[in-house]
Structures are given as structure tokens and as C-alpha cells.
Amino acid sequence: MKDLTAEKPHLVFVYGTLMQGYHNHMLLEDAIFLGQAQTAEKYRLTYTSFPMMTEVSEVKVKGELYRIDEREFDNLDILEGYPQLYYRKEIPILHREKTYSAWTYFYTRGEGRYEIPSGNYHDVRLNKFYSP
């Protein structure tokens, strides 16, 4: 049996356009999808034309957990404008009643114009909030 931890050593939590069904998900097509997850701690999730998470205690953010390799990580860094536009940090993530340490991206330039009080970016697509 293959050791997926060796092949795909990094856990990453995504909460926006990298999730399944969104245009940037193509960057994770070779990643190992572990399932739905959420942050163990509270953060602020906002958006304008894309989602932005900041380290303000507000709501547990919902998203997806993946196992990725170095190439995939490099591609995510490029997309996220790391480290100028977003910085990455390992945070506790809840998945199937267990806590994991996973990388995620935090926005560096303030926050978006609109709040996502549910912590779920899918709600924007479902028009639960005002969308520009």
C-alpha cells in the first residue's frame, strides 16, 4: 500500500475558489480530497470579488481539507500571491471529529467589502448574501 503521507506530505484547508465547483479548483485536481472540514478556531470571512479570511475572531470557517505535494503547494502560493497578498499559516482544522494541523491562507490587505456571517463561501454562490 502506498504511503500517501510521503507522496503528499502537506495538509491544506481551502475555503473559497479552490473548493470543488469553483474555477480555481483545477489546481487541486491531483490532490487527495479528505473531505469537508472547518476551522477549530474563529476567523473573519469576507469577500469582494474573491474570499478573504483574516485573523479576527468571528466564526468557524467551513471549507475542504486536502493532502498536497510540493508542486501543488507552489502552485497555490502563486495563485494566492504569497507572501504579499496572502500569507500562509498552519492552524487547527476539524475533520471527522478529529483535529488536524493544516496550512491555510490569510489575506494581508484588510478585508473584503461583504461579510460571510455563516463562515461558508458556498452561501455567496447560493445568493444568501449580497453579491457585487
- Please tell me which residue in 80, 90, 97, 115 is annotated as part of the active site: 80
Give 6's pLDDT tier (boundaries 50, 70, 90). confident
> Which band of pLDDT confidence, cut at 50, 70 and 90, is reported for residue 5?
confident
Report pLDDT for 9.
Answer: 94
Residue 64 has pLDDT above 80, yes or no: yes
- Nearest CA to 24 out of 49, 60, 56 is that of 49
Confidence (pTM): 0.93
Q: Would residue 80 show up in a list of annotated catalytic residues for this protein?
A: yes
What pLDDT is recorded for position 7? 87
pLDDT in tens, 17-35: 999 999 999 999 999 999 9
What span, in angstroms and rounded, lies between the C-alpha atoms of 57 and 60? 9
Q: Do residues 119 and 60 touch, judged by C-beta distance below 8 A?
A: yes
E strands, the chain, in order? 10-14, 32-47, 51-68, 86-95, 98-107, 114-115
How is residue 15 annotated by DSSP? Answer: -
